[in-house]
A and B are shown apart, each in its own frame.
Chain A
Amino acid sequence: MNISVQYPWVLLLLVSGIVPLITRETAPVRYSTFTVLPPDTISNAAAIALRLARSASLVLLIIGLSGPYLPEKEVERIGEGAQIILLLDRSRSMDQPFGGQPFKNPLLPAGGETKGTVSRRLLSEFVADRRNDKYGMLVFSTEPIQVLPLTDKTEIIQAAIEAGNIGRGLSETNVGPGIIDAIRFFEDKSYTGSRVILLVSDGGARLDVATRIQIADLLKRFRIALYWIYIRSRNSPGIVASRTEEKRDDIAPARVLHEFFETLETPYRAFDAEDPSALAAAIAEVNELQSLPIQYIDIIQRKNIAIWFYAAAMALVSVLLIADRTEIRRW
């Protein structure tokens, strides 16, 4: 066990612990002569014990005052939890209204929420529900921007999601580099549990062949599952095609992206944010992934242990008090 102290300067006071060991006994007893008294080994031992107790009570109290603590410790554990990279679209198109009204009158308004607001709400709920996972986060527009390292601190993850509400979107939607950068989170890391990339995007992007091949290869190499929470634009046809002739990517680029993802050898699922059960489905899916045990590092919080020392000092002071009251001072 490794004990550290917060205020080492307090330990200078430890010198005072020596004093009871070197001073003479307090109470001289006046008596004509001690030579007639038989040697009392028990009393002598008690005297030494009391000196030690006095010194020790001071020492313990000083150590307690110096703020002793057991430092934060990392422990390797086997348990549940996935490593999830949140990949959030921050392009301009995400500032536009969310979902609704396929092929109806486009001039009729339906709800005022932007796609960005909806996606951040979903992410926030997702993270709140799965707080044992480790999260990393990237936002992307033209270029991916890393926002968080892989962490399990819920507060900072929520703060990063919330920060997306500040200011407008950046520029174009460029999904390719975003996914590649998200995959790179797992580069040089040992496989210690299910890996998921959670893409939240309206998916208005085209991928060239080179990028497609790279994404497919990297996902396979690092064994990463891709989940796409699809944020539908208002009046857009959606990603699941009912009629096959509408494949042209100038009509529905998201659909083409979806079809590419479906050709991946690695697990892929799409969830439509418009469907109220989509989030629950996504969470359930991640739950299922975790039937495999994963290895993770748990951090045992730093623990203040001053009260242990106070308690020990208290015990000794009680002994001193009892000894003081039972001591024979004169006879």
Chain B
Amino acid sequence: MTTSPDPVKHASRPTWPWLTVALLFLGIAITDPVLRLKPPTFRYLFAIDITQSMNVSDMHLAGIEVSRLEYAKSMVETATRSLPCGSEAGLAIFAAHRTLVLFSPVEVCANFQALSEMLKKINWRMAWTARSEVSKGLYSAIEAAGQIMNDTRLVFLTDGHEAPPLNRDILPPFSTGADIAGFIVGVGGTTPSRIPHLDEQGNVVGYWSHSEVLQVDVHSLGRPTSGNGEAMVGVNMADVARRIMLGQEHLSSLREPHLRELAARTGLDYVRLDSASTFVEKLHKETYARRIPVETATGWLPASLAFACLVHCLIAIPWFHRIRRNRHSLRSPEPI
């Protein structure tokens, strides 16, 4: 038979070159190629306030009332889960006047189970002294973050409730040389609530009363070693009795202005913890990221090129053929 000019000539659209290329790409893909990329990863030290004001139940998780501490812990867990592999997270607790690092940052994906288990174990009873000097705690957290590893960012979760209260004129000095980035996270409701007394099982057995807590700062109470009423130099004691009477320190709410002030003084950012998404978003901020090489599997790249080739020769070519053939058969119907 002699060849006649054929409008749907098969050879015009051969599939074999595409198949060959697809085969080559697949050949690369099965070697499981790995590239050392530098995606953004993070190294966070989460310091959680475990003082008693954190036991106030004025937060809500899935519609259920939970304590500030439980809320903060759950947010840290969600946040840790959201960090890309290769990121690191460490845990610390704050009580009394300092931050105690439980463990320095470890890779989040490999150690997630231990991390979340430990997070669940954190509770107010770990506090070694029943005081809550937030400013000093924050400063020591900054110091700790500076001692750990490079690029450690601090996330300090607290309600900002200072107990005993601060004297506005005699603030704890911030003298840390460490230049640490990170942010303070404000946890707690805005309405002052009673701080519960808890028993060993965590049941509420009462509330801190007006007379059980220091209503004014220690300096205003005068020299501790002298008889009552001897004022310290430079401290105004004139209206102490009135201030004590009007004191609201047994009630606790999120002290946002105080935390903002602390953030400004220490060069940290401030964010209020009201939903997991805002927290996660803040944690993923580019400014906190660090770029270190991470081995990244890149087999998907040649594999998708191979897929494109296959789509072209197994779907696109037959498809175009059909259209052309249809057009052709409209113009000149095939001979019977």
- Of the candidates A26, A142, A314, the one having the most CB atoms from chain B within 10 angstroms of its own CB is A26
Partner of A321, one of B6, B23, B127, B140: B23
Shortest distance between the CB of A171 and any CB in chain B (Å): 6
CB interface residues, A 160-200, toward B, < 8 Å:
160, 162-163, 165-167, 170-171
Q: A324-B15, A331-B1 are in contact. Are A314 and B102 (CB under 8 A)?
A: no
Write the chain A residue with the least CB distance to B111: A156
Bound Cα distance A321, B310 (Å) = 11
Of B75-83, B115-123, B160-168, which stretch is located at the interface?
A: B115-123
Secondary structure of the B side of the interface?
A: helix
Task: Report if B225 contacts A (CB, 8 A).
Answer: no
Bound Cα distance A314, B11 (Å) = 24
Interfacial chain B residues near A141, Cβ < 8 Å? 128
Interfacial chain A residues near B27, Cβ < 8 Å? 314
Task: Report if B154 contacts A (CB, 8 A).
Answer: no
Do residues B140 and A167 form an inter-chain contact, with CB atoms below 8 A? yes
Do residues A145 and B129 form an inter-chain contact, with CB atoms below 8 A? no
Write the chain B residue with the least CB distance to A318: B23
- Of the candidates A57, A167, A329, the one having the most CB atoms from chain B within 10 angstroms of its own CB is A167
Do residues B307 and A65 form an inter-chain contact, with CB atoms below 8 A? yes
Partner of B318, one of A26, A160, A162: A26
Write the chain A residue with the least CB distance to B113: A151
Do residues A160 and B102 form an inter-chain contact, with CB atoms below 8 A? yes
Of A16-24, A36-44, A253-261, which stretch is located at the interface?
A: A16-24
Task: Report if B241 contacts A (CB, 8 A).
Answer: no
Partner of B128, one of A16, A27, A171, A314: A171
Interface residues on B, range: 35 or more
CB interface residues, A 299-331, toward B, < 8 Å:
304, 306-307, 310-311, 313-314, 317-318, 320-321, 324-325, 329-331
Do residues A19 and B16 form an inter-chain contact, with CB atoms below 8 A? no
Q: A148-B118, A310-B30, A324-B15 are in contact. Are A24 and B322 (CB under 8 A)?
A: yes
Quick one: CB contact mask for B139-175 with A, threshold 8 Å, 1 for yes?
0100110011000000000000000000000000000
Do residues A65 and B310 form an inter-chain contact, with CB atoms below 8 A? no
Bound Cα distance A310, B24 (Å) = 11
Q: A54-B314, A324-B15 are in contact. Are A159 and B106 (CB under 8 A)?
A: yes
Do residues B143 and A64 form an inter-chain contact, with CB atoms below 8 A? no
Do residues A163 and B90 form an inter-chain contact, with CB atoms below 8 A? yes
Task: Report if A149 contacts B (CB, 8 A).
Answer: yes
Task: Report if A95 contacts B (CB, 8 A).
Answer: no
Write the chain B residue with the least CB distance to A58: B310
Interfacial chain A residues near B26, Cβ < 8 Å? 61, 310-311, 313-314, 317
Shortest distance between the CB of B303 and any CB in chain A (Å): 6
Q: A159-B106, A166-B147, A167-B98 are in contact. Are A61 and B303 (CB under 8 A)?
A: yes
Task: Report if A28 contacts B (CB, 8 A).
Answer: yes
Write the chain A residue with the least CB distance to B126: A145
Interfacial chain B residues near A170, Cβ < 8 Å? 100, 128
Bound Cα distance A300, B202 (Å) = 37
Task: Report if A153 contacts B (CB, 8 A).
Answer: yes
Interfacial chain B residues near A307, Cβ < 8 Å? 29-30, 32, 299
Write the chain A residue with the least CB distance to B13: A26
Bound Cα distance A64, B26 (Å) = 11
Do residues B107 and A155 form an inter-chain contact, with CB atoms below 8 A? yes
Do residues B322 and A23 form an inter-chain contact, with CB atoms below 8 A? yes
Task: Report if A100 contacts B (CB, 8 A).
Answer: no
Bound Cα distance A147, B119 (Å) = 10
Task: Report if A62 contacts B (CB, 8 A).
Answer: yes
Q: A24-B318, A65-B307, A156-B114 are in contact. Are A314 and B23 (CB under 8 A)?
A: yes
Task: Report if A30 contacts B (CB, 8 A).
Answer: yes
Shortest distance between the CB of B335 and any CB in chain A (Å): 8
Task: Report if A143 contacts B (CB, 8 A).
Answer: yes
Task: Report if B259 contacts A (CB, 8 A).
Answer: no
CB interface residues, A 261-299, toward B, < 8 Å:
none
Do residues A320 and B114 form an inter-chain contact, with CB atoms below 8 A? no
Do residues B23 and A61 form an inter-chain contact, with CB atoms below 8 A? no
Do residues B101 and A167 form an inter-chain contact, with CB atoms below 8 A? yes
Interfacial chain A residues near B306, Cβ < 8 Å? 61, 310, 313, 317
Shortest distance between the CB of A36 and any CB in chain B (Å): 14
Task: Report if A67 contacts B (CB, 8 A).
Answer: yes
Partner of B315, one of A16, A159, A166: A16
Interfacial chain A residues near B147, Cβ < 8 Å? 165-167
Interfacial chain B residues near A155, Cβ < 8 Å? 106-107, 110-111
Write the chain A residue with the least CB distance to B19: A321
Task: Report if A146 contacts B (CB, 8 A).
Answer: yes
Shortest distance between the CB of A90 and any CB in chain B (Å): 8
Q: A20-B314, A26-B15 are in contact. Are A162 and B6 (CB under 8 A)?
A: no
Task: Report if B104 contacts A (CB, 8 A).
Answer: yes
Task: Report if B61 contacts A (CB, 8 A).
Answer: no
Partner of A65, one of B103, B126, B129, B303: B303
Bound Cα distance A89, B299 (Å) = 49
CB interface residues, A 1-50, toward B, < 8 Å:
16, 19-20, 23-24, 26-28, 30
Known A26-B317, A64-B29, A148-B103; 14 more pairs at CB < 8 Å: A26-B10, A26-B321, A28-B325, A145-B102, A153-B111, A155-B107, A156-B111, A156-B115, A160-B102, A304-B297, A307-B29, A313-B306, A317-B19, A317-B306
Kindly list the 6 A-B residue pairs having the minimum CB-CB distance in the complex, ordered from nearest: A160-B103, A163-B101, A314-B26, A149-B117, A151-B114, A159-B103
B interface residues with partner A (beta carbon < 8 Å): 1, 3-4, 6, 8, 10-11, 15-16, 19-20, 22-23, 26-27, 29-30, 32, 90, 93, 98-107, 110-111, 113-115, 117-118, 121, 125-129, 140, 143-144, 147-148, 297, 299-300, 303-304, 306-307, 310-311, 314-315, 317-319, 321-322, 325
